[in-house]
Structure 1
Amino acid sequence: MELDQVAQTVLAIGLMIIMFGIGLSLSKADFIAVLKFPRAVAAGLTAQFLGLPLAALIITQLFQLSPEFALGFMIIATSPGGATSNLFSFLMRGDVALSVSLTAIATVLSLFTIPVVLAYASQLLLQNSQLVALPIGRIFFPLLFLVLLPLILGMLIRSRKPGWAAGLQRPTASLSVLLLIFTVCYVFYLEQERFITYGGQLGWIVSLFFLTATLLGFLVAKAARLDLRQQKTVVIEVGIQNGVQAIFIATSPLMFADPVLAVPAVLYSILMYLYIFVLFIILKFLRL
């Protein structure tokens, strides 16, 4: 069952609002901050863009998931987190400046990594599926319009009208959360039979994937000899993914147009916040 026109429109608008909100919080300085802490940025990007897709591929093959669910994991693995990762870095006393810089760089890089990784992954994973593998251009151009343009618009407002940007950040963030909730609930409604049938099994695998992501972030940050605040930031950045973007890629008629692919992203969007909250409580208890 495909998403109806209203849901597709809401999802596309939601993705644009999220990217616009990220742009409102960014400046040119956030992109050149890599010169300030190169090891930390390199560690975060390595874990996000190399480690996470590889971990998703290994886990899906280890548990012999269907081609559709396996590709769904690859989609969520290639969609780096948005502004909520900056919020959690602040709440967990991480390095907020590093978090913002990683968000900025990862958002732009993902425009190029998502098409390449998913084009290859779809060819690899969909050999025994009715779904058709997509070429790079079919994935790149919708993302260019829905991700890069709103991001640039938000940054322009931040640079020209900082007062406007400050005033727009909170309502934009609130609207983004509401749209994520709508998207998750609607896909759950469309694919409720699959959630009932596979939810238990996929829930454990999604949980394992999240734990793998956070452990990967920690190990890479530790290997890069980052301080505790930077380690926490890298863990959060790698663990939190952009659920709305992943669901859009899975369900949009411009891309894969199959809500089944969105099932892992929906589960991840729910569970990642639960586990991040648990991590927050643990860090508070340990006074870290």
Structure 2
Amino acid sequence: MSSGLATVVLPAALAVIMFGLGLGLAVADFRRVSAYPKAMIAALACQMLVLPVVCYGLVRAFDLSPALAVGMMLLAASPGGTTANLFSHLFGGDVALNVTLTAINSVLAVVTLPLITNLALDHFMSGDDEIGLQFGKTAQVFAIVLVPVAIGMLVKARAAAFADRMHKPVKITSALILALVIVGAIAKEAENLAGYVEKVGLAALLFSVISLTAGYWVPRLVKVDRRQAIASCMEIGIHNTTLALAIALSPSLLDNTEMAIPGAVYGVLMFFTATAAGFVLRRGEGASARIESVPAQEAQR
């Protein structure tokens, strides 16, 4: 990726995406945590504990290079993206829970993302003392994650009609930007792409499938209702890959194209795996409805 694209376009792209997230949020979304305590705890446990452990296991199982390993852990630490809200809506999830999870995850990521990334850097690339997200770089992560969100929320509070009109165009722009970022990251490493995809493709695919599965079944195991479990499934299974790419590629942060490859590969795969998961869950809902209708029909006889 050219230095101009990485230095100017990528941070601006992420700012647009996070601003779009803010346009869909209100202070009430943060207050709503108390309405979904069990669902929130289950989903956050998946995001903060299960995913990093699963990702580390995959990194070890596939014996990835240090840079690709860090890229995978950076991906695991990235919060859910706004696309999760759309997938949740399409497949019968509780979108209000999605919005709340996205809001909380985005705030927590300011702490957890640098922490997990630095642990990964120290573990996999301990010989390079110049790489890492020190305090100044962590402050940049704070700025690119939360400041645009806060501005978007302010716009929504002051001009709700304008925010509603802009929400869809900003989402479309965000999708186009994500595609541009992925193409740019892949083009930069075109010569090595086949080798990278061979090494990290299956790991990224398994990580996506496991994320979606854990996102649904962990809440279900603690008796969270189906709609909220679907919301959790999409939130945990669809990461903010633009954030992971921005941190990996930005010259002022990690400045490592190889670390961006897992996020770029995952960013393509997640749309297919999330769609497949949605259809599986929809079929399961139909089967459950048919089973539940049998006793009712018998009772009427």
Interval containing the TM-score (normalised by the shorter chain)? over 0.9
- CA pair 174-131 structure 1, distance change in 2 beyond 3 A: farther
Moved over 4 A (4+): none
Task: Provide the rounded CA distance (Å) in 2 between the counterparts of 1:78 and 1:53.
Answer: 7
- CA pair 287-216 structure 1, distance change in 2 beyond 3 A: closer
Question: Could you tell me which amino acid in structure 1 is paired with residue 88 of structure 2?
Answer: S
Question: Could you tell me which amino acid in structure 2 is paired with residue 214 of structure 1?
Answer: L
Q: How does 1:161-180 map to 2 (within 5 A)?
A: 161-180=159-178
**Structure 1 equivalent of residue 232 of structure 2:** 234
Q: How many aligned residue pairs are there?
A: 286
**Structure 2 equivalent of residue 82 of structure 1:** 81
- CA pair 213-139 structure 1, distance change in 2 beyond 3 A: farther
Question: Could you tell me which amino acid in structure 1 is paired with residue 208 of structure 2?
Answer: F
Contact 2:62–2:199, Cα closer than 8 Å, also in 1: no
What RMSD in Å do the two structures reach over aligned CA positions? 1.5
Q: State the structure with more CA Rg.
A: 2
**Structure 2 equivalent of residue 72 of structure 1:** 71
Contact 1:80–1:106, Cα closer than 8 Å, also in 2: yes
Question: Could you tell me which amino acid in structure 2 is paired with residue 115 of structure 1?
Answer: P
Contact 1:71–1:261, Cα closer than 8 Å, also in 2: yes
| Residue segments in structure 2 that go unaligned for 5+ positions in a row | 287-301
**Structure 2 equivalent of residue 269 of structure 1:** 267
Contact 1:25–1:169, Cα closer than 8 Å, also in 2: yes
1:211 has 2:209 as partner: yes
Of all paired residues, the percent bearing the same amino acid is 33
- CA pair 135-263 structure 1, distance change in 2 beyond 3 A: closer
Question: Could you tell me which amino acid in structure 1 is paired with residue 94 of structure 2?
Answer: D
Q: How does 1:138-287 map to 2 (within 5 A)?
A: 138-287=136-285
- Secondary structure of the residue aligned to 1:115 is helix
Q: CA deviation at 1:84?
A: 0.8
Contact 2:182–2:264, Cα closer than 8 Å, also in 1: yes
Q: CA deviation at 1:127?
A: 2.4
Contact 2:208–2:237, Cα closer than 8 Å, also in 1: yes
| Residue segments in structure 1 that go unaligned for 5+ positions in a row | none
**TM-score, normalised to structure 2's length?**
0.91
Task: Provide the rounded CA distance (Å) in 1 between the counterparts of 2:214 and 2:283.
Answer: 23
**Structure 2 equivalent of residue 92 of structure 1:** 91
- Secondary structure of the residue aligned to 1:120 is helix
Q: CA deviation at 1:261?
A: 0.4
**Structure 1 equivalent of residue 56 of structure 2:** 57
Q: CA deviation at 1:193?
A: 2.0
Contact 1:138–1:255, Cα closer than 8 Å, also in 2: no
**Structure 2 equivalent of residue 20 of structure 1:** 19
